[in-house]
A and B are shown apart, each in its own frame.
Chain A
Amino acid sequence: MPQLRKDPVTKRWVILLHEQKKLPADFKIEHAPKQTNKCPFCPGNENMTPFELMSYRSENTLPNEPGWQVRVIPNRFPALQIEGDLDRMGLGVYDMMNGVGAHEVIIESPNHEDGFHNYSSEQISRVLHTYVERYRDLSRDRRFRYILVFKNNGSAAGASLDHPHSQLIATPIIPKRVMEELEGAKTYYYYKERCVFCDIIRQELSQGERIIHENESFVAFEPFASRFPFETWIAPKDHKDCFGDIDKGEIDGLADIMQATIKKLIKTLDNPPFNFIIHTSPCGEHCTDYFHWHIEIMPRVTKIAGFEWGSGFYLNHMSPERAARFLINPNYKG
């Protein structure tokens, strides 16, 4: 059973995968993505994966057979395990609990070469519908406090397989980074009685200099204090606290803006490795007034050095205003 441990100083929780028993030698090689001849995510190879949890598939096809458009499976090497109790306990100054949670893989397309930039709009909507459906299902499990949907694209961004996929992890704690956002948003709300994200969006829309794309329901922009070059956020324009409450019309709007944004990043940065992650309110705890769900996209084009992790103080060599100009205008030369 993996273990969760909490750092008593920073209150940061860590998942410990001690069962893998890694040795120093295991780390000596840079693991390139293992490109076996047979990709376990390709149609026809369904027998190489655990049984699917859900899928969008053509009529008259069977689960775990070809014929699907989107397929969700449990991760074969889960960071957290679905069975068991949390068994919280203390050890002197330290606190710990069992690593109970869910870890799923969303195979976004049967086509090995696909990506968010070239999906059809139906396909991208199907992927987003899948996120929502899995989110809603897992948020009913009372052991889980938080559900993270994210994507690692490219080996430098942590992807171990090339076939387009995203992941979902349900955790029994609220992750530190999310907790910080919740705390920050709550403080702002107590002070101003307004949602901090709504205020940011209003200011971004009125200034316009960091906006990448907008449609009826969503806006994509470079945050004022971007931690990374070309960091991009997508947020609903109206105040919405929970990703799981998104409706069908909004999913189409989100599909449009995600594709437009990722296309721009891929074109500008020549197919960079990137991550995206959805931040929403914790399960069963609608932060109706002060939290606002959003997606953070982080192209992985810089190295994080000792200073950044030691200080939490990031160095960014690209102003978000300039990044926005490069992204909106392909002819912008800086």
Chain B
Amino acid sequence: MPQLRKDPILKQWVIISPERGKRPSDYKKTIEEPDDSAECPFCEGKEHLTPNETLSFRTAGTDANKKGWWVRIIPDSEPILRPEGEPGREGFGMFDAMNSIGVHEVVIESPNHNSRIHNATNDQVREIIWAYKQRLLEIKKNPSYKHFMVVKNSGAGLSNFTHSHSHIIATPIIPKRVEEEIEGAREYYHYHDRCLFCDIVKQEQKDQMRLVYENDQFIVFCPFASRFPFEMQIMPKSHQPFFEMIENNLVQTFADALQNTLKRQEAVLPGQPYNMVLHTSPCSDSYKDFYHWHVEIIPKLTKVAGFEWGSGFYINPTTPEDAAKALRDIAIK
């Protein structure tokens, strides 16, 4: 059973999973090129190579774990958190630990090996978002999970599979980064009685210079204090704490914003590996006034050096205004 451990200084939790049994020599190679030649377990017709699906959108009359799906969600075969067992919270002297209880699933975004979000049909992107929403609502029924997020690692060096996919991860604690966002947003709310994210949306709409794209309900922009070059955020314009409560009519416009953003990124930085994270409010109503769900997209362009790690103080060589201009001005199909 992997373990969660908490740093007593930073209050930061870590998953220790010694079962994966890595030896020092396993770390010597840092870049693992995805192995594309072998059978891809995410392709249609290879369903027997994966654990049983937890959700799929499929043609009427087809069986679970067989062909006929267009979006499919499965448990990760090497999960970092597992749904079975007790939380097992325990102290070791001054240290705190608990079991790594949670959910770790893979969303296979298309039956087609070469489809990517930026070149999929708009309908397909909408279906992926429906799948996120449905699965998150189901996971949320378990009260032991405090928070969940959707994460996408795309491209060589970031993922072992080239087949387009993302992860759903539910955790028994609120992760540090989200906790920090909550703290910041809460302080602002107590002072101003307004949602900080809503204020950012308004200011970005007014300033224009960091805006990448907008439609009726979403804006895409490069954050004012971007940590990385070409970092982007997608945010609903109206105040919405929970992604999983997204209304039906917003699913389509979110799909449009997401796809448009990734198309722009692909046009400006072709083939660039990137990470994407969807942050939504923890599973409790106590944050609903000041938390606002959003998506962060980070192309992996720069190396994070000792200074950034050790200080949490990032050095970014591109202004978000320049990045936004390049992303905004590029012609996309």
The contact sample of 12 A-B pairs, CB cut-off 8 A, is A8-B188, A10-B181, A12-B227, A23-B326, A156-B30, A157-B306, A178-B312, A199-B94, A276-B310, A303-B30, A306-B151, A307-B149
Q: Are the C-beta atoms of B175 and A277 separated by less than 8 Å?
A: no
The number of residues on chain A lying at the interface, defined by a beta carbon within 8 Å of a beta carbon of chain B, is 96
Inter-chain CA distance A314–B10, complex, in Å, is: 13
User: Are A158 and B22 CB-contacts (below 8 A) given A7-B225, A175-B313?
Assistant: no
Judge if A169 is at the interface, Cβ distance under 8 Å. yes
Specify the chain A residue showing the minimal Cβ separation from B223.
Answer: A7
Judge if A20 is at the interface, Cβ distance under 8 Å. yes
Judge if A171 is at the interface, Cβ distance under 8 Å. yes
Judge if B33 is at the interface, Cβ distance under 8 Å. no
**What per-residue 1/0 map shows which CB atoms of B158-184 lie under 8 Å from chain A?**
110000000101010001111111001
Q: Are the C-beta atoms of A158 and B305 separated by less than 8 Å?
A: yes
Closest 3 A/B residue pairs (Cβ): A158-B305, A275-B306, A277-B310
Q: Are the C-beta atoms of A301 and B27 separated by less than 8 Å?
A: yes
- B interface SS class: mixed
Specify the chain A residue showing the minimal Cβ separation from B227.
Answer: A14
Q: Give the residue of B17, B152, B171, B318 whose beta carbon is less than 8 angstroms from that of A313.
A: B171
Specify the chain B residue showing the minimal Cβ separation from A3.
Answer: B319
Inter-chain CA distance A7–B225, complex, in Å, is: 5
User: Are A268 and B24 CB-contacts (below 8 A) given A27-B229, A311-B177?
Assistant: yes
Q: Are the C-beta atoms of B22 and A270 separated by less than 8 Å?
A: no
| 5 additional A-B residue pairs with CB within 8 Å, beyond A7-B224, A175-B311 | A158-B307, A173-B313, A185-B9, A200-B94, A319-B18
**What per-residue 1/0 map shows which CB atoms of A1-38 lie under 8 Å from chain B?**
00001111111111111101111100110000000000
Inter-chain CA distance A16–B314, complex, in Å, is: 9
Inter-chain CA distance A17–B227, complex, in Å, is: 11
Q: Which of A271-319 contact B (CB under 8 A)?
A: 272, 275-277, 279, 296, 298-307, 309-319
Q: Are the C-beta atoms of A93 and B177 separated by less than 8 Å?
A: no
Q: Are the C-beta atoms of A310 and B277 separated by less than 8 Å?
A: yes
Q: Give the residue of A12, A188, A302 whose beta carbon is less than 8 angstroms from that of B225.
A: A12
Judge if B66 is at the interface, Cβ distance under 8 Å. no
Query: Using Cβ atoms and an 8 Å threshold, which residues of chain A touch B269?
Result: 24, 27-28
Query: Using Cβ atoms and an 8 Å threshold, which residues of chain A touch B171?
Result: 311, 313
Q: Are the C-beta atoms of B302 and A27 separated by less than 8 Å?
A: yes
Q: Are the C-beta atoms of A227 and B14 separated by less than 8 Å?
A: yes
Query: Using Cβ atoms and an 8 Å threshold, which residues of chain A touch B24?
Result: 230, 268-270, 326
* Segment of A119-127, A146-154, A250-258 in the binding face: A146-154
Q: Are the C-beta atoms of B30 and A5 separated by less than 8 Å?
A: no
**What per-residue 1/0 map shows which CB atoms of B67-97 lie under 8 Å from chain A?**
0000000000000100000000000111100
Q: Are the C-beta atoms of A311 and B311 separated by less than 8 Å?
A: no
Judge if A51 is at the interface, Cβ distance under 8 Å. no
Report A75 CB to chain B, min CB distance, Å.
11
Query: Using Cβ atoms and an 8 Å threshold, which residues of chain A touch B92?
Result: 224
Report B29 CB to chain A, min CB distance, Å.
9
User: Are A314 and B22 CB-contacts (below 8 A) given A184-B8, A188-B8, A303-B30?
Assistant: no
Report B184 CB to chain A, min CB distance, Å.
4
Query: Using Cβ atoms and an 8 Å threshold, which residues of chain A touch B326?
Result: 23-24
Interface size class of B (residues with CB under 8 A): 35 or more
Residue ranges of B at the interface with A (Cβ–Cβ < 8 Å) = 5-18, 20-25, 27-28, 30, 80, 92-95, 149, 151-153, 157-159, 167, 169, 171, 175-181, 184-185, 188, 196-197, 199-200, 203, 206-207, 223-227, 229-230, 268-269, 272, 275-277, 279, 296, 298-299, 301-307, 309-319, 322, 326
Q: Are the C-beta atoms of A8 and B200 separated by less than 8 Å?
A: yes
Q: Give the residue of B152, B167, B199, B224 whose beta carbon is less than 8 angstroms from that of A5.
A: B224
Query: Using Cβ atoms and an 8 Å threshold, which residues of chain B touch A296?
Result: 310
Query: Using Cβ atoms and an 8 Å threshold, which residues of chain B touch A28?
Result: 269
Q: Are the C-beta atoms of B184 and A14 separated by less than 8 Å?
A: no
Q: Are the C-beta atoms of B149 and A310 separated by less than 8 Å?
A: yes
Q: Are the C-beta atoms of B196 and A9 separated by less than 8 Å?
A: yes
Query: Using Cβ atoms and an 8 Å threshold, which residues of chain B touch A85?
Result: none
Query: Using Cβ atoms and an 8 Å threshold, which residues of chain B touch A152?
Result: 305-307
User: Are A306 and B176 CB-contacts (below 8 A) given A14-B314, A317-B20?
Assistant: no
Inter-chain CA distance A9–B224, complex, in Å, is: 11
Residue ranges of A at the interface with B (Cβ–Cβ < 8 Å) = 5-18, 20-24, 27-28, 79, 91-94, 148, 150-152, 155-159, 167, 169, 171, 173, 175-181, 184-185, 188, 196-197, 199-200, 203, 207, 223-227, 229-230, 268-270, 272, 275-277, 279, 296, 298-307, 309-320, 322, 326, 334
Query: Using Cβ atoms and an 8 Å threshold, which residues of chain A touch B180?
Result: 9-11, 312
Specify the chain A residue showing the minimal Cβ separation from B15.
Answer: A315
Query: Using Cβ atoms and an 8 Å threshold, which residues of chain A touch B197?
Result: 9
Report B129 CB to chain A, min CB distance, Å.
17
Specify the chain A residue showing the minimal Cβ separation from B313.
Answer: A175
Specify the chain A residue showing the minimal Cβ separation from B301.
Answer: A27
Q: Are the C-beta atoms of A270 and B28 separated by less than 8 Å?
A: yes
Report B227 CB to chain A, min CB distance, Å.
6
Inter-chain CA distance A303–B155, complex, in Å, is: 13
Inter-chain CA distance A206–B105, complex, in Å, is: 40
Query: Using Cβ atoms and an 8 Å threshold, which residues of chain A touch B225?
Result: 5-8, 12-14, 94
